[in-house]
Chain A
Amino acid sequence: MVSYIYISKLSALCFTMLLSLSMTAQTETGDVLIKNGTVITITDGVKEDTDVLIRNGKISKIGSDLSAREGTKTIDAEGKFVMPGIIDAHSHIALDVVNEATAPNTAMVAVGDALDPYDVGVYRALAGGVTISHAMHGSANAVGGQCETIKHRYGVTDPEDMRMDGAPRTIKFALGENPMRVHGENNDIVPSTRMGVEQVFRKSFADAQVYMAAQENYKKGISKMPPKYDERNEVMADILRGDIIIHCHSYRADEILMLMDVLGDYGVSKITFQHVNEGFKVAPELAEFGAAASVFADWWAYKFEVYYSTAFNAAILSRNGVVTSINSDSGELIRHLYHEAGKSQRYGKLTDNEALRLITINPAIQLGIDDRVGSIEEGKEGDIAIFSAHPLSIYAVPEMTIVDGVVRFDINNDPDDMRIWVDPKEDFSDTYEGNEEHHDCSNDRCMQGVFINGHAVHSHHR
């Protein structure tokens, strides 16, 4: 009995130590009082002339005439619009590498091992009101690597401080042309067709089931040896157990239906389809399955599988009850996701709230973090964006972005050069980067690091 208590005390101590360790990794939180703004809560209407108090990085109170303890930073938001920090469910900023394009299934790798807190793209995203992004593996493989949900704590230099601690694990899947091109067309291995892509998933899940059964048999003493440890199977098994959310690069209706079939057969239900340009064609099926959709506002025609697209995709999906978000997949677009969300009003007449859900609570749901962020509610994390006008107006300017109660972007305190790291050998007169970023996921960062016929697939090869 005594020893039991001792052990539990010890483990409690260990837990506290671990917690304090993770707290230091969690970096700083702050206190902010935002006064007299028009507060767009997303989940509880729009509140005029309202204060929001953030304490220790959490929203502690929403109301009028709030006061804060002495020394709290106070922001006058009169005439301004206060909304939850914008969330991008598909991006590749803050990553050193994007694709492990060496096999049709690379579930064992994780982009979380390649975080780059120095990427000035993170600051540029903050300057567009974006506080959280889903840093994704690329789309070269049917089963790509695991992704990382990051908070835009620009200024930290430890990659660990970028992670959103406790966010559910996610993994990239990919359908259609990209895995077919990289593996079939380029390396002469399956998949070179959408039939082949299906079989990669079926084989991967079946292998994982065998692996799990072998582990179970060992645990029960039925077999004397455990199966040889295999990280790929471990990850696939965690997907089968429901511990990992799938985010699947997809375009065509047929391939979307195929993956839902496969997942249905294996009892997997947590899935967000990414891009999903033909999602509008199978919106009722997506809604019935409970699958979510993360789409572009208007990208299309950059490759054949997005030729039959419509910019009304987000509206059709939303009206069918599919949890829908608008993402960037681009260091350029991530700077104006509020404008991208606005396009759902030109194309489909979504209401203000429906349009803003596309970049706040809906991507939060898709990343499994909606209990913590995505709306302005007491108890949620202090991630806030303040705009000069209604954020869906073309005339709105993002003026301040707050992460965990810490002001990370302030238009009134905003030097030109916001890089944290500068190459000492750099010739300043000669660093023109041009408008090299193009809107093209076939050749964009989704395919970064992929070599085809000996040539890197670069964003400038449109």
Chain B
Amino acid sequence: MNIKIYILGLLVFCISWTQAQQVTPSESGAFILKNGTVHTVTKGTMTGDVLIKDGKIADVGANIVAADATEVDCTGKHIYPGMIDGMTRLGLEEIGAVSLTRDFNELGDFNPHMKALTAVNPGSVSIPVTRTNGVTSVIAAPTGGLFSGQASLINLHGYTPQQMYAGFTAVIMNFPSSGKRGRWDRRSAEDIKKDADKAAKKLNGIWDKAQDYARMDSIAQATGAVKEGYNPQMEALLSTAQGNASMMIRVNKKQDILNAIEWVQEREIKAIFVGVAEGWRVAKELAEANIPCVVGPVLGMPTRGYDRYDRPYKNPGVMQQAGVKVAIMTNDSENVRNLPFNAGFAATYGMGKEEALKAVTIVPAEIFGLADQLGSIEAGKVANLFVSDGDPFETKTQITDLFIEGWKVPIESRHTLLYEEFIKRSPGLE
């Protein structure tokens, strides 16, 4: 008897500490979400059912009959598409201060060939912590240097990066900044200018070479000639330089945004701007340039001492109302779970609930060219969605059910498991 208990205890111990994030296995199969308020995002809100089959949303409507599907009663509950974070380091950073667990910033300045997807850790403890707040896909992106590497969109469920890959990859560039990098930046005005000129020259030089390389590649393709001088960096820039792929460009300061618009237009680059903290200062120009933006964090500080305290809160709304396509990001790693709250602040400060919801669902899906697969509750799309007992932007709301690529994923993470263990700690005071 005692031995049995001991073994059972040992088993529980092993399970909770080897996984330490998800004890209950995910379930696959057909599911029918009955009688919920379905927020489709693209086709209005209605009371009805959602049928999930083969990893896809098979049907959305009233009184769907599916005898073989497991029923999830959603009476009084809300069904939303899974949220998408437009830029994070999720899976690339485990513990901030432990450098060997940080896999997002390779040595050197020119790393377009570095692939974030290679370093995404499917076992990262932060992944369940994130998805249990309704965030089902994120861009995992490298940082640093002029070209940081390639970011990829991942679904937050799976045992290998390939299982998680959601179909979008882009080279990340940090547009050279012409100004101070922060309060700690003690460079003189001349040095700042010198550095900016140097960086611009370097960038232009790289891009000229990338275009040469692309032409060379086209010729080689057309003539069947052997392409000489394989260059991994240039190879990585190929589809962007040929205009076939988008590039994500981090840019925040007003003047840098204007410079970046000019730079991408001259070179006919398909660009997505990221960060765009001062987008509100040049919203008109961004709208005219028709460049989609991944904006955030919304819960961030004003960029200048003389700016209003609520500028970052208002930034997405101001840009969206000027006609810019705006998605919201946290730019975080362990707290990507705050995406709905970033969207909530954007909603409160001018963007409105409906647009803010789009900015974390269908808009990022559109920006990443995946609007036919993600970002709304429509038949045929990937079954990334969650059920809640209220508005997911409100902190009081509980997420009750979660589906990623049709898998029913338990609402479990290190944080919920520690809660369950310690809310009734045994032994207590003994």
The stretch from B2-10, B57-65, B283-291, B302-310 touching chain A is B302-310
B47 partner residues in chain A, CB cutoff 8 A: none
CB-based contact A395/B347 at 8 Å: yes
CB-based contact A284/B418 at 8 Å: no
CB of B159 within 8 Å of the partner chain: no
Nearest CB of A to B157, in Å: 20
A416 to B311, CA, bound (A): 10
A315 partner residues in chain B, CB cutoff 8 A: 419, 423
CB of B344 within 8 Å of the partner chain: yes
A429, A435, A437, A439: the one contacting B335 at CB < 8 Å is A439
Q: Quick one: which of A335, A433, A456 has the most chain B CB within 10 A?
A: A433
Q: Quick one: which of B182, B338, B396, B425 has the most chain A CB within 10 A?
A: B396
Known: A127-B309, A312-B418, A332-B301. A284 touches B425 (CB 8 A): yes
A348 to B415, CA, bound (A): 11
CB-based contact B180/A280 at 8 Å: no
CB-based contact B97/A303 at 8 Å: yes
CB of A442 within 8 Å of the partner chain: yes
4 closest A-B pairs by beta carbon, nearest first, are: A342-B395, A394-B344, A312-B419, A303-B97
CB-based contact A301/B125 at 8 Å: yes
B300 partner residues in chain A, CB cutoff 8 A: 332, 435, 437
List 28 contacting pairs A-B, 8 Å CB cutoff, sorted by A. Answer: A124-B301, A127-B309, A284-B429, A302-B96, A304-B95, A309-B415, A310-B416, A310-B419, A312-B416, A312-B419, A312-B423, A335-B309, A336-B299, A339-B341, A339-B345, A343-B395, A345-B395, A349-B398, A394-B394, A397-B349, A417-B307, A419-B306, A430-B179, A432-B179, A432-B180, A432-B182, A434-B252, A434-B303
CB of B176 within 8 Å of the partner chain: no
A416 to B309, CA, bound (A): 8
**Size band of the A side of the interface?**
35 or more
In B238-268, the 8 Å CB interface with A consists of: 252-255
CB of A244 within 8 Å of the partner chain: no
A204 to B25, CA, bound (A): 52
Binary flags per residue of B151-190, CB closer than 8 Å to A gives 1, else 0: 0000000000000000000000000010111111000010
A241 to B305, CA, bound (A): 43
B429 partner residues in chain A, CB cutoff 8 A: 284-285, 288
In A274-299, the 8 Å CB interface with B consists of: 280-281, 283-285, 288, 298-299
B179, B184, B334, B348: the one contacting A458 at CB < 8 Å is B184
A309-B414, A430-B180, A435-B331 known, 17 other contacts, Cβ within 8 Å: A283-B425, A300-B334, A300-B335, A307-B95, A312-B415, A312-B423, A339-B345, A339-B395, A392-B395, A394-B345, A395-B348, A395-B394, A416-B308, A432-B182, A433-B302, A434-B253, A462-B96
A303 partner residues in chain B, CB cutoff 8 A: 95-98
Binary flags per residue of A248-287, CB closer than 8 Å to B gives 1, else 0: 0000000000000000000000000000000011011100
CB-based contact A427/B96 at 8 Å: no
CB of B122 within 8 Å of the partner chain: no
CB-based contact B301/A346 at 8 Å: no
CB-based contact B422/A432 at 8 Å: no
A128 to B349, CA, bound (A): 14
In A414-432, the 8 Å CB interface with B consists of: 414, 416-419, 422, 427-432
A316, A346, A456: the one contacting B395 at CB < 8 Å is A346
Closest A residue, CB atoms, query B310? A127
B184 partner residues in chain A, CB cutoff 8 A: 436, 456, 458, 460
A288 to B97, CA, bound (A): 33
CB-based contact A430/B189 at 8 Å: yes
CB of B94 within 8 Å of the partner chain: yes
CB of B428 within 8 Å of the partner chain: yes
Q: Which positions in A face B, CB cutoff 8 Å?
A: 120, 123-124, 127-128, 177, 280-281, 283-285, 288, 298-304, 307-312, 315-316, 319, 331-332, 335-336, 339, 342-343, 345-349, 392-397, 414, 416-419, 422, 427-437, 439-440, 442-443, 456, 458, 460, 462
How many residues does chain B have at the interface if contact means C-beta atoms less than 8 Å apart?
A: 68
Binary flags per residue of B391-425, CB closer than 8 Å to A gives 1, else 0: 10111111000000000000000111011001101
A309 to B129, CA, bound (A): 11
CB-based contact A431/B252 at 8 Å: no
CB of B371 within 8 Å of the partner chain: no
CB-based contact A392/B347 at 8 Å: no
A298, A302, A332, A431: the one contacting B304 at CB < 8 Å is A431
Known: A332-B299, A342-B396, A429-B255. A280 touches B418 (CB 8 A): yes
CB of B78 within 8 Å of the partner chain: no
B335 partner residues in chain A, CB cutoff 8 A: 298-300, 439
A439 to B391, CA, bound (A): 26
Nearest CB of B to A295, in Å: 13
B334 partner residues in chain A, CB cutoff 8 A: 300-302
Q: Which positions in B face A, CB cutoff 8 Å?
A: 94-98, 125-126, 133, 177, 179-184, 189, 192, 252-255, 275, 277-278, 297, 299-310, 312, 331-335, 337-338, 341, 344-345, 347-349, 391, 393-398, 414-416, 418-419, 422-423, 425, 428-429
A281, A349, A414, A437: the one contacting B422 at CB < 8 Å is A281
A336 to B252, CA, bound (A): 23
A308 to B95, CA, bound (A): 11
Known: A298-B335, A336-B299, A394-B393. A308 touches B414 (CB 8 A): yes
CB-based contact A304/B97 at 8 Å: yes
A120 partner residues in chain B, CB cutoff 8 A: 305
Known: A280-B422, A394-B345. A419 touches B305 (CB 8 A): yes
A304, A346, A432, A433: the one contacting B98 at CB < 8 Å is A304
B347 partner residues in chain A, CB cutoff 8 A: 394-395
Closest B residue, CB atoms, query A312? B419
Nearest CB of A to B229, in Å: 38
Closest A residue, CB atoms, query B133? A346
Closest A residue, CB atoms, query B178? A430
CB-based contact A310/B418 at 8 Å: yes
B305 partner residues in chain A, CB cutoff 8 A: 120, 419, 431, 433
Closest B residue, CB atoms, query A347? B415
Closest A residue, CB atoms, query B394? A394
B126 partner residues in chain A, CB cutoff 8 A: 301
CB-based contact B428/A308 at 8 Å: no
CB-based contact A310/B344 at 8 Å: no
Nearest CB of A to B217, in Å: 37
CB-based contact B419/A316 at 8 Å: yes
A393 to B305, CA, bound (A): 28
